[in-house]
Amino acid sequence: MPYPAPSQSDPDALEHHRWMRQALKLAETAGESGEVPVGAVIVGPGGEAIATGENRRQRDQDPTAHAEIVALRAAGIIRQDWQLRDCRLYVTLEPCPMCAGAIVQARIATLIYAAADPKAGAVRSVLNIPDSAASFHRLEVIEGILAASAREQLQAWFAQQRRSR
């Protein structure tokens, strides 16, 4: 279910849009570097950005260097703790199975994503890893924050890739 547009009377919605806009900027940077444009921001309990990530698979020649994984690794190093129980993760695209598993492993409190991924989404679209009986940690999931912006960004990037072939 898509999240409603923010109103001045809904501070949570304003906060979600604020951080998702930052994730979209990171995604744009990734796209400009030849990566699939996906960005992620991890926000701590005090409302501060702890770590960010953008897709880096091509640049790092690392199949695990998805935006979410990059951000989770950075947050663990910064906090000196891999358990991120009091954190929120904002990401522009619904996480894949690898990233959804890592998010559960990191014990993220809340996952907020923009665009659903009908081909590989492992949170709600194709699989539901967070709610799986095999997942020992439960987290809140909010979907659809700035979904149209994220979808347009991805579609434009893929269209450009097809034109440059």
Which residue in the list 35, 68, 94, 143 is annotated as catalytic? 68
Tell me which residue of 32, 42, 39, 37 sits closest to 74, measured CA to CA: 42
What pLDDT, in 10s, does the model give residues 63-83? Answer: 999 999 999 999 999 999 999
- The mean predicted confidence, pLDDT, of the chain is 95
Query: Which of the four pLDDT bands, split at 50, 70 and 90, describes residue 1?
Result: very low
Contact 49, 79 (CB under 8 A): no
Whether 68 is a known active-site residue: answer yes
pTM recorded for the entire structure: 0.94
Query: Which of the four pLDDT bands, split at 50, 70 and 90, describes residue 7?
Result: low
What pLDDT, in 10s, does the model give residues 83-102? Answer: 999 999 999 999 999 999 99
Asked whether residue 5 carries a pLDDT value surpassing 80, the answer given is no
Q: Which residues contact 17 (CB under 8 A, 6 or more apart)?
A: 6, 145, 146
